[in-house]
């Protein structure tokens, strides 16, 4: 439906798509609920997950970052071991496979050639089952895989992926949760309720645009480079935050595991270097704050984004509290908006950044 992809009053698709994120999460809750209101996935997919002794997640770009989070979900919630690979590397750097692998392709477009070359090999040469998680029904990766889980995010037009990433993380959580329940695991969370809480939390953040624009101005207006740090799930979100900033503002950015900084990258910290730190994981909150002190001592301009309950005086942004496994759904959103405003301040073409394409159909 063409009206679905109108910008309406929005200056950019990216802004519209970020604003849609709460409703995307709610749509996923709905789409994956059965008649009794319980989260569910297709029986055949559930069976394929049950049969698998290991999952191999294959993806590129933002979808790869969602895959890193998906690994934690399948391992922690469903108890299934997972490997995550960049699709372009997988062909010539294939790990030793387990006996009963299930391949999971994560792709917003369902058209990424790097991922497709792996899928073709998996199906034609190796004969293993494959599941595609995509936003586009009928896309190549969906047609060629045995199974599909849809993201239900609606068309994503801006080249920099936002709502599709949030949808990928949410759908991965649903699949892991349904698989974990089916395996009879004791799950101490009601995912449906937690996703609804996360949707509200995202709404709070997209309603804080003025504050996020101010953060972009304070930290990135004249920056040449920027660092994003986190530990555990926050580390993966910091990688996605850095990618967003690079893609649309052309500021050189890196996402780092807080503890790894001191092993080299800290050499790059100078007076005024912006460092964004995410503090949403209670068990590592003190450690990441320690890393912030290390960079501040070397002149960094640190912007701490902390989850409610873990905040301290001086933190720049406090995001609403959500379940510890679902923080990526929420903590990524301020990073998206900060990147957006940084790009605007630099007069960059937000929706169509240079050198990038929405779907890359060459290897
Ligand atoms: C391109 C886009 C990225 C995207 C990547 C993977 O490089 O510019 O934003 O993350 O492809 O795309 P996919 O459609 O497979 O998720």
Residue 92's pLDDT band, with cuts at 50, 70 and 90, is confident
* Cα–Cα dist 323/326, whole Å: 5
* pLDDT surpasses 50 at 344: yes
pLDDT digits (tens, 9 = 90+) for 32-47: 999 999 999 999 999 9
Q: Which helix (H) or strand (E) holds 274?
A: strand 274-279
pLDDT digits (tens, 9 = 90+) for 52-62: 999 999 999 99
* pLDDT surpasses 60 at 4: no
* pLDDT surpasses 70 at 15: yes
> What is the average pLDDT score of the chain?
96
Query: Would you say 149 and 133 are in contact if contact means Cβ atoms under 8 Å apart?
Result: yes
Q: Does residue 27 have an active-site annotation?
A: no
pLDDT digits (tens, 9 = 90+) for 284-340: 999 999 999 999 999 999 999 999 999 999 999 999 999 999 999 999 999 999 999
60 ligand 1 Cβ < 6 A: yes
Place of tokens 């406090």: 318
Query: Would you say 139 and 40 are in contact if contact means Cβ atoms under 8 Å apart?
Result: no
User: What's the rounded mean pLDDT across residues 267-293?
Assistant: 97
Query: Would you say 238 and 231 are in contact if contact means Cβ atoms under 8 Å apart?
Result: no
Residues with Cβ within 8 Å of 158's Cβ and at least 6 positions away in sequence, in order, are 12, 13, 14, 17, 350, 351
Q: What is the pLDDT of residue 359?
A: 87
User: What's the rounded mean pLDDT across residues 114-119?
Assistant: 97
* pLDDT surpasses 90 at 155: yes
In the reported structure, the alpha carbon of residue 59 is separated from the centroid of ligand 1 by a whole-number distance in angstroms of: 9
14 ligand 1 Cβ < 6 A: no
**Interface predicted TM-score of the whole assembly (ipTM), two decimals:** 0.97
Task: Choose the residue to mutate in 13, 59, 60 for probing ligand 1, maximizing ligand atoms within 8 Å of C-beta.
Answer: 60
Instruction: Outline where 32-121 has alpha helix (H).
Output: 43-51, 61-73, 87-90, 113-120
DSSP 103-161: EEEEESSS--HHHHHHHHIIIIII---EEEEESSTT-HHHHHSSEEEE-------SSS-
Name which residue sits closest to atom 5 of ligand 1, judged by CA: 61
88 ligand 1 Cβ < 6 A: no
Quote the pTM value: 0.97
- Token code pair at residue 20: 């849609």
Residues with Cβ within 8 Å of 229's Cβ and at least 6 positions away in sequence, in order, are 235, 238, 255, 256, 257, 258, 261, 275, 276, 277, 278, 288, 291, 292, 295
In the reported structure, the alpha carbon of residue 171 is separated from the centroid of ligand 1 by a whole-number distance in angstroms of: 17
Q: What is the pLDDT of residue 3?
A: 47
In the reported structure, the alpha carbon of residue 357 is separated from the centroid of ligand 1 by a whole-number distance in angstroms of: 8
Q: From the CA of 141, give the closest atom in ligand 1.
A: 15
Query: Would you say 289 and 307 are in contact if contact means Cβ atoms under 8 Å apart?
Result: no
pLDDT digits (tens, 9 = 90+) for 230-269: 999 999 999 999 999 999 999 999 999 999 999 999 999 9
Adjacent-strand bridge partners of 228:
255, 276
* pLDDT surpasses 80 at 2: no
Tell me whether strands 130-134 and 225-230 are parallel, antiparallel or unpaired. Answer: unpaired
Q: What is the pLDDT of residue 5?
A: 66
Q: What is the pLDDT of residue 22?
A: 98
109 ligand 1 Cβ < 6 A: yes
Residues with Cβ within 8 Å of 32's Cβ and at least 6 positions away in sequence, in order, are 39, 40, 41, 171, 174, 178
86 ligand 1 Cβ < 6 A: no
Q: How far apart are the first and last CA of the chain?
A: 30
153 ligand 1 Cβ < 6 A: no
């Amino acid at each position: 439906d063409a009206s679905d992809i109108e910008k309406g009053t929005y200056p950019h698709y990216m802004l519209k798509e970020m604003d849609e994120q709460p409703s995307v999460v709610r749509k996923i809750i709905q789409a994956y609920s059965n008649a009794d209101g319980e989260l569910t996935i297709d029986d055949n997919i559930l069976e394929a997950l049950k049969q698998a002794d290991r999952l191999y997640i294959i993806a590129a770009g933002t979808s790869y970052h969602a895959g890193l989070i998906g690994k934690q979900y399948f391992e922690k919630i469903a108890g299934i071991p997972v490997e995550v690979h960049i699709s372009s590397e997988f062909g010539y750097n294939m790990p030793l496979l387990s006996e009963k692998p299930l391949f999971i392709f994560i792709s917003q477009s369902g058209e990424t050639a790097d991922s497709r070359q792996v899928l073709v090999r998996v199906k034609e040469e190796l004969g293993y089952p494959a599941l595609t998680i995509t936003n586009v029904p009928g896309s190549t990766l969906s047609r060629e895989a045995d199974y599909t889980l849809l993201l239900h995010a609606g068309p994503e037009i801006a080249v920099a992926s936002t709502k599709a990433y949030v949808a990928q993380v949410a759908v991965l959580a649903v699949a892991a949760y349904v698989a974990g329940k089916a395996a009879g695991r004791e799950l101490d969370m009601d995912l449906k309720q937690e996703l609804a809480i996360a949707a509200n939390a995202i709404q709070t953040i997209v309603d804080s645009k003025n504050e996020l624009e101010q953060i972009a101005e304070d930290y990135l207006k004249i920056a040449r480079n920027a660092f994003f740090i986190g530990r555990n799930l926050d580390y993966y979100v910091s990688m996605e935050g850095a990618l967003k900033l690079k893609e649309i503002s052309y500021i050189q950015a890196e996402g780092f595991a807080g503890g790894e900084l001191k092993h080299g990258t800290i050499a790059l910290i100078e007076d005024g270097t912006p460092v964004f730190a995410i503090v949403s994981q209670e068990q590592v909150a003190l450690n990441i704050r320690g890393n912030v002190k290390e960079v501040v001592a070397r002149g960094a301009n640190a912007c701490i984004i902390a989850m409610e309950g873990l905040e301290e005086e001086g933190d720049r942004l406090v995001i609403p509290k959500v379940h510890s496994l679902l923080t990526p759904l929420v903590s990524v959103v301020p990073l998206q908006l900060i990147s957006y405003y940084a790009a605007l301040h630099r007069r960059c073409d937000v929706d169509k950044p240079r050198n990038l394409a929405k779907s890359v159909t060459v290897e």
